[in-house]
Amino acid sequence: MTILGIDTSGKVASCAVVNGEKILCEKILYTKLTHSQIILPMVKEVMSDCELGWQDIDGIAVAKGPGSYTGLRIGIAAVKGICMGSPHIKCAGISTLEALAYNCSAFQGRIIPVMKARPGVVYVGDYFSDKGKVTPLSEDKVAREEDIFPSLDSTEKIMLTGDYCAEVKAEYFADNENVILAPTADRLQKASSLCVAFLNSPQYEVAPDKLEASYLQATKAEKDKAHS
């Protein structure tokens, strides 16, 4: 299968095309522009570089969250539009944290992706990697740092990844050799990891109109409404 991946969940915009075990093309870009300005031109560029048309794409994997509220909506809306216009294309929403774990799938053992949500609060996942296949050990969550890391069982090797992993290592595991950091290149979102997650877990497929973001916490609009 040829899978297009789109990630607009965080600090970078990322797009990739993967065919089986081969990454045909991947672009990852820090940008001052909004994801709405950059992601569709990036998709067109990647597909042009691969000399592919929509008829050649079997599926699209998109980051469904957690992450930037606006960024997630932009990526999901783009995928919905593409798939509704090309009904043969399957689509899947993939956990941003699971995709980060797939960045490190060569590691054998427990992987904990961690992203900063707000001061003192993180998005955190718990996954196990075995021979390139990543399996969730628990549900993704949003939680206070002190409720997660001081009590983390680190009797076996753990790899931390994500945009806040270095801070967690320095604060809670500075002298713990069992808790290691992912290589710098594997700490931010990669669209190719979304593609691999979809290929390994086809059950993530959903109808385009059922594709939704998973914020893990209330949006600002929901918070404002609750206090109105």
pLDDT tens sequence across 16-38: 999 999 999 999 998 777 888 99
Amino acid 217: pLDDT: 82
Do 75 and 155 belong together in one domain? no
- The whole-number average pLDDT for the span 67-81 is 95
pLDDT cut 70: percent of the chain above it: 95
Do 210 and 162 belong together in one domain? no
Do 167 and 204 belong together in one domain? no
Do 86 and 105 belong together in one domain? no
Q: What domain range includes position 156? A: 97-186
Number of structural domains the chain divides into: 2
Amino acid 33: pLDDT: 73
What values do phi and psi take at 163, rounded to 5?
Answer: -70, -10
Q: What is the CATH number of the domain that holds 50?
A: 3.30.420.40
Q: Is the peptide bond between 66 and the residue preceding it cis, with omega within 30 degrees of 0?
A: yes
Spatial separation of the C-alpha atoms in residues 142 and 135, rounded to whole Å: 19
Do 90 and 8 belong together in one domain? yes
Do 204 and 169 belong together in one domain? no
Q: Which long-range contacts (CB under 8 A, 24 or more apart) does 128-132 make?
A: 129/101, 129/104, 129/105, 132/105, 132/106, 132/200
What is the bridge-based pairing of β-strands 2-7 and 12-19?
antiparallel
Q: Which tokens in the block code for residue 82? A: 């593409």
For 38-62, the pLDDT digits (tens) are 999 999 999 999 999 999 999 999 9
Partnered with residue 12 across adjacent β-strands are 30
Mean pLDDT, the chain, as a whole number?
Answer: 94
Do 63 and 168 belong together in one domain? no
pLDDT cut 90: percent of the chain above it: 90
Do 118 and 89 belong together in one domain? no
Do 143 and 71 belong together in one domain? no
Of the pLDDT bands very low, low, confident and very high (cuts 50, 70, 90), residue 148 is very high
For 91-128, the pLDDT digits (tens) are 999 999 999 999 999 999 999 999 999 999 999 999 99
Do 7 and 81 belong together in one domain? yes
* Strand ranges for 37-104 from DSSP E: 59-65, 90-95
Do 88 and 50 belong together in one domain? yes
Of the pLDDT bands very low, low, confident and very high (cuts 50, 70, 90), residue 218 is low
* Per-residue pLDDT at 170 exceeds 50: yes
Instruction: Say which residues have a Cβ less than 8 Å from residue 23's Cβ, sequence separation at least 6.
Output: 16, 17, 192
Do 72 and 119 belong together in one domain? no
Q: Which tokens in the block code for residue 198? A: 């979809």
